[in-house]
Amino acid sequence: MNRKKIIKNLKKSGVIFVDETNAYIDETVVIGAGTVIEPNVKITGKTVIGKNCVIGFCTDITDCEIADNVSIKHSVLTESKIGSETTVGPFCYVRPKCVVGKKVKLGDFVEIKNAKIDDGTKLSHLTYVGDADVGKNINFGCGTVVVNYDGKNKHRTVIEDGAFIGCNTNLVAPVRVGENAFTAAGSTITEDVPADNLAIARARQVNKAGWERPKKIEK
């Protein structure tokens, strides 16, 4: 079936195209009524998209299951599941084997891989979560990295419901952050954090009085 006929059939079923001349959709794709497809979108494979979604400009989706009322902007998603009312992007990368719950936020420059992200959790920006089981209503601060690879093997991280991950936290797998636990900004976490604890793993600040900037050596 050619591209124009595919789009014509989708329009008959209630899919809305902002610019149908710049949409690229496989015959195998299923899209629910009321979903808006913006320009330069590519949807391929066995992708199923629910009702009343927004698939934003320059989004690329392959073999995904996307529930109702999801918004995706300028992002790439592959072989994953996205729950209802979740927002993705802009500039988010969802790699294979991810299961994302309802009302999750995957913001700008967020990358997830082989991860489960449960309902209500927010990864707003500049975060990498790979090989992890992430609970409900967790907030990830900017610059968080799940350090899943030791050079030979991948290890999993577990973050339980209600935890708060401070900005620029490194979670060195395998590690578990307990329910409602906090990690202080700038921490590198290498040991489990019990529930309701605050983990601080950073060097104490030292200020050097009278310090002088290095001088440029003239050649």
What would the mean pLDDT of 99-108 be, rounded to a whole number? Answer: 98
* Same domain membership, residue 120 and residue 91: no
Residue 146 has pLDDT above 90, yes or no: yes
* Same domain membership, residue 84 and residue 15: yes
Q: Which helix (H) or strand (E) holds 61?
A: strand 60-62
What positions carry a catalytic annotation?
A: 125
What pTM did the predictor assign?
Answer: 0.94
Residue 219 has pLDDT above 80, yes or no: no
> Does 53 map to a domain?
yes
* Same domain membership, residue 35 and residue 80: yes
* Same domain membership, residue 41 and residue 9: yes
State the pLDDT at residue 214.
Answer: 85
* Same domain membership, residue 5 and residue 86: yes
Confidence label for 187 from pLDDT (cuts 50, 70 and 90)? very high
> Does 215 map to a domain?
no
Of the chain, the percentage scoring pLDDT greater than 70 comes to 100
> Does 185 map to a domain?
yes
Q: Which residue has the higher pLDDT, 219 or 183?
A: 183
Which pair of structure tokens corresponds to residue 151?
């050079």
Give the angle subtended at the CA of 115 by the CAs of 165 and 31, to the nearest 5°.
120
Give the chain's domain count: 2
> Does 213 map to a domain?
no
Q: Which domain holds residue 144?
A: 114-196
What would the mean pLDDT of 15-30 be, rounded to a whole number? Answer: 96
Indicate the DSSP class of residue 116: E
Q: What is the mean pLDDT of the chain?
A: 96
- List the CATH number of the domain containing 163: 2.160.10.10
* Same domain membership, residue 90 and residue 122: no
> Does 150 map to a domain?
yes
CA–CA dist 195, 210 (Å, integer):
43
Return all residues near 35 (Cβ < 8 A) that are at least 6 apart.
14, 15, 16, 49, 50, 51, 52, 53, 54, 55
> Does 155 map to a domain?
yes
* Same domain membership, residue 127 and residue 52: no
> Does 216 map to a domain?
no
Burial of 208 (0-12, 13-18, 19+ CB in 10 A): exposed
